[in-house]
Structure 1
Amino acid sequence: MEKSTWCSLPASKAQNQISQSKVDPSLFSKGNGNTFIVLHVYVDDILVASANMELITELKMFLDNTFKIKNRGPLGYFLGIEEKSSTDDLNICQRKYVLEILEETGFLGCKPASTPMAQNLKLNHDGTLPDDHTSYRRLVGKLLYLTTTRLDIAYVIQQLSQFVDAPTNHHLTAAHRVLRYIKQSPGQGLFYPVSTNLHLKVFSNLDWANCSETRKSITGYCVFLGFALISWRSKKQATVSRSSSKAEYRGLADTVCEVQWLRYLLHDMQVTLTKPTTIFCDSKSAVATAENHLFHERTKHIDIDCCVVWEKLSKG
């Protein structure tokens, strides 16, 4: 398990032969092997991680000599995210953040709900407009940040965020349902075991023509590094697809782009992937299109997406 710590620094740049990641401007690294150290900068805070604690100490001394910093010690609570690590695993959650949301909204003593959204609920613009829109927008914004560690509410928050301009009483009721759901397990988060294989596995799925008003589809995927969940998304597609095959393939193309970005990021962090990334998709037509580099009539409108997926597939 890598040791990690964090500190605060003024808005300045330290050069000290540290290279910046090309795929994540806030990520910096130096050295390799046992001398590898990585830094993640957020405004005036910085996370430092390395397998060698002496390197962390030396870097902090250098930063403190260059400009005074506050040494916050081992990582425990950072930007609303709680971290607990041991020699065998790492756990992160937002329990304190959840309890703050529940207290602010008056739902601290509410009855918990077993699901984040009512079954078969379809949100639209029907309903009565509330007197105050700002409370709904503020709540959805807070819940959006909670999806940093809560995959289970990503879909419903994606649905609720579409109506921040003109929310109705139905949207507010749905948002309150999410509060009752997170009340059930405020400490739920992510678990990262130390002993895991370095193999990227991706699950891609799609809800075709989900939106009752625009008939746009919802793309969803989750990415695992071994047994650890490292990336996920639920997002409405930008265009309307006339068939589920086209929608599935557009979702697959978005997934492939995310995988490529993650592979670049892992390379910057000196993580060696020994196997090609495995992508699971339940659409036979999308899989058949990915394996066929000769485009035909049914795929001429998504030929760019076809090129993206087929190129990465052909290169392994």
Structure 2
Amino acid sequence: MNIIGCKWVFRTKRKSDGTVERYKARLVAKGFNQVAGEDFFDTFSPVVKPTTVRFKSSKTDVSLFYYTAGDSRVFLLVYVDNIIMMGNDAVLVASLLQRLASAFKIRDLGTPHFFLGIETIADGDCIILSQRRYMTDLLGRAGMVDCKPLATPVAVTKSVIPSDEPFENPTHYRRVVGALQYLTITRPDLAYSVNRLYQFMHSPTTEHWGLVKRVLRYIKGTLSLGLRFSPSFSTRIQAYSDSDWAGCPIDRKNTSGFAVYLGSNLISWLSKKQRTVARSSTEAEYKALADVLAEITWVVSLLQELGLHSGEPASLWCDNLGATYLCANPVFHARTKHVEIDYHFLQDKVASGDFVVNYISTTDQLADIFTKPLPAPRFATLRDKLNVVLHQPCS
């Protein structure tokens, strides 16, 4: 048996404005001395999916617990050793909190204002999620506090002479890009640029570091942007799907992206590079539709489990007519056997009436921001439609 030691870890916990809240000390085991497969086999920490005591445990997301009694609802989200509880019955929430305190050592921090580096800002009936302090700290770690702001995170024009000189500090590159990934929780406008930076994690060059610096310069000028959630009378699900066919100049793989709305609120988004090369724009768009359909299926499953689904079919918006026709017209199938799995998945969902695929013009395609670099005016317009808005920092 490999006996491991322990050590003290000291941290300073700060409030959203940067002032000291408390000093924290932990005695932790030196798990890094263990060898996977010999000293241990599995590790697990309960982490809620970023898009979301037994009451009842959710089958859709194992870190979500919910309780329903008549018109009263309580939801509990677990993220490692942090918990957020919410509900429409204050008495029931208080009672549950007391019962938890009798069984576990917990601290009630009241209404959440700062959780996992995310600040919750009230704006009338709306709330805005902001990571302003996190962004400020990131700029400090990258040495970019005094950098000049830019209007977009990615340049539309490409470098005339690309550099293949290895970046002198690849570990620093990976740390900064990894930190940017966490920032996309509240900043969907950064999804495309961060996804592109992640493609060079194994061997970054000086040119790639230049791309990172451009993203940081954009962040410098948008520290007061956050993701807004507002009351919505509609609970209908709508999704926008797009793909940039053969957009990568290195391997000609396409980048796809989607945005999923519940009522007027953006609840899920994605920008990713496809693993295979598409042989047509229709195939590229069709694969993007399959990705967003899988995400919507999960969202619908969660809403149905919580009793919050309206029952209306979800609407998918695509700016490629060929992909739109392919969802409902089996005649096209003979020419697209190489996308057979995606075809059957989409066809079954559309035929069952759970989803409706509609055509939308490229001008109105909101997912365009997740697939390619855009000029500043177009980028700002789509960013606004993603509900990324300005807010006043808390004093």
TM-score by length of 1: 0.91
User: Percent identity at matched positions?
Assistant: 39
Following superposition, the deviation at residue 32 of structure 1 comes to 4.6
Flag the 1:202–1:33 CA change in 2: closer, same or farther, 3 A.
farther
The equivalent position to 1:288 in structure 2, one of 325, 331, 334, is: 325
What do you get for the CA RMSD once the two structures are aligned?
2.1
How far has the Cα of 1:158 moved from its partner? 0.5
Change over 3 Å in CA distance of 1:183–1:54 after alignment to 2:
same
SS in 2 for 1:30: strand
Conservation of the 8 A alpha-carbon contact between 1:38 and 1:269: no
**In structure 1, what is the equivalent of residue 244 of structure 2?**
207
Shift of 1:159: 0.5
Structure 2 runs not aligned, ≥5 long: 1-43, 47-52, 354-395
Aligned partner of residue 322 in structure 2, secondary structure: helix
CA distance in 2 between counterparts of 1:24 and 1:77 reads: 23
Instruction: Give 1:161's match in structure 2, choosing from 198, 201, 204.
Output: 198
Partner of 2:80: 43
Deviations 1:244-293 (A, max 9, x none): 11111111111111111111122233312242111110110001100113
| Cα-to-partner distance string for 1:12-35 (whole Å, 9 max, x where unaligned) | 99xx44111112111111115532
Secondary structure of the residue that 2:180 maps to in structure 1? helix
* Counterparts of 1:103 and 1:140, CA distance in 2: 14
Task: Specify the alignment match of 2:351 in structure 1.
Answer: 314
Say which of 269, 273, 283 aligns to 1:246.
Answer: 283
User: In the TM superposition, what is the alpha-carbon distance from 1:137 to its structure 2 partner?
Assistant: 0.3
Aligned partners of 2:327 and 2:346 also within 8 Å:
yes
| Aligned AA (1:298) | R
Q: Provide closer, same or farther for how the CA distance between residues 21 and 295 of structure 1 changes in structure 2, counting only shifts above 3 A.
A: farther
The equivalent residue for 2:149 is 112
Unaligned runs of 5+ in 1: 1-10
Change (3 A) 1:301 1:32: farther
Following the alignment from structure 1 to structure 2, what is the Cα–Cα distance between the partners of residues 140 and 196?
38
* 3-state SS in 2 of match to 1:69: coil
Q: Distance in 2 between matches of 1:81 and 1:125?
A: 37
- Aligned partner letter, 1:23: T
How many angstroms apart in 2 are the aligned matches of 1:224 and 1:120? 31
The answer to whether the Cα contact below 8 Å between 2:300 and 2:309 also exists between their aligned partners in 1 is no
299-308 vs 79-88, which moves further: 79-88
Q: Distance in 2 between matches of 1:128 and 1:297?
A: 47
Report the secondary structure of 1:206's partner residue.
strand
Check the 8 A contact 1:123/1:159 in 2, yes or no.
no
The answer to whether the 8 A contact 1:295-1:303 is kept is no
Equivalent of residue 102 in structure 1, options 123, 139, 155: 139
Q: Deviations over 1:208-250 (max 9, x none)?
A: 1112222111111101112111110000112111111111111
